[in-house]
Homo-oligomer: A and B are copies of this chain.
């Protein structure tokens, strides 16, 4: 069941009740920032990291972020053992902050357990383009996500569960809603934010467990295709094994399995 809580006064509203104005720039121009966090044991996981990223995204979109997100998240997650917390702030004017709480979709739980079949798709830009052109909003989590959703739809139509974007000059970037990591000879590699991708909160959480030697560096697509293991890291799905990549069967490798178990255990 979907629950909606407004930042202003922590007022709870029925999900079917409209809360956003027609002329809000979040509605007309996709100028909102958002974060999706996992709810575990009545609390939002990695809330501080999510709120830091929310604030950084708001600055890039010139959104005057109101205060009070900790209290909003706390009120929204209270009494909920697990679930999905979305925090959204539109540009307005005036900016409108709210939380949307939903159950974890069955499909997400299945993907976490059984993994996802993935295809690579180009994002059209070179690896360093977005760092050089700040107006392209690399690393900003706005609600202008139509391309992310269209990429997933395209992958689904082609029989895959998810996609990994590669740059036009052949480097691994990110997935439409997740960070990419690969394993080669027992070492985990993941691309740096200098290639215009979002700094993953789940990736950071997994690295902090110190279960595996890890290196942050640019990854040629050829290495992705030769990797021993590939995984997608995101807030709600957690550590999702990539069981097939562009048709090559990968199964669920030992490092991915260990990271997934350790990560899930760390949340409870």
Partner-B contacts on A (CB < 8 A): 2, 4, 13, 15-32, 34, 60-62, 86, 88, 90, 98, 100, 102, 121-126, 129-130, 133-137, 140, 142-151, 153-154, 168
Contacts and interface: CB of A to CB of B under 8 A. Distances in A.
B21 A28 contact: no
Label chain A's interface by main secondary structure: mixed
A190 to B, nearest CB: 22
Given A2-B23, A28-B88, A168 B129 contact: yes
Q: Which of A4, A25, A130, A147 has the most CB of B within 10 A?
A: A147
Given A122-B133, A143-B30, A150 B19 contact: no
A146 B34 contact: no
A232 B224 CA distance: 43
Contacts of A98: 22
Q: Which 9 A-B pairs have the closest CB atoms?
A: A30-B30, A144-B144, A144-B146, A124-B125, A135-B154, A18-B18, A20-B20, A29-B145, A142-B146
Contacts of A129: 122, 124, 168
Given A15-B21, A23-B102, 16 more contacts: A15-B23, A19-B21, A19-B22, A22-B100, A27-B32, A30-B142, A30-B143, A31-B145, A61-B146, A122-B129, A124-B130, A125-B125, A135-B151, A135-B154, A136-B150, A140-B146
Contacts of A126: 124, 168
Contacts of A26: 27
B4 A143 contact: no
A24 to B, nearest CB: 8
Contacts of A18: 17-21
A26 B22 CA distance: 11
B124 A133 contact: yes
A144 B30 contact: yes
B146 A121 contact: no
Contacts of A32: 27
Q: Which of A60, A102, A125, A137 has the most CB of B within 10 A?
A: A125
A124 B147 contact: no
B29 A143 contact: yes
A23 B122 contact: no
Contact of A30 (B17, B21, B61, B146): B146
A223 to B, nearest CB: 22
A33 to B, nearest CB: 9
18 contacts: A15-B22, A18-B18, A20-B27, A22-B88, A23-B102, A25-B149, A27-B143, A28-B100, A28-B145, A122-B129, A122-B133, A124-B126, A124-B133, A124-B136, A125-B168, A135-B150, A135-B154, A140-B146
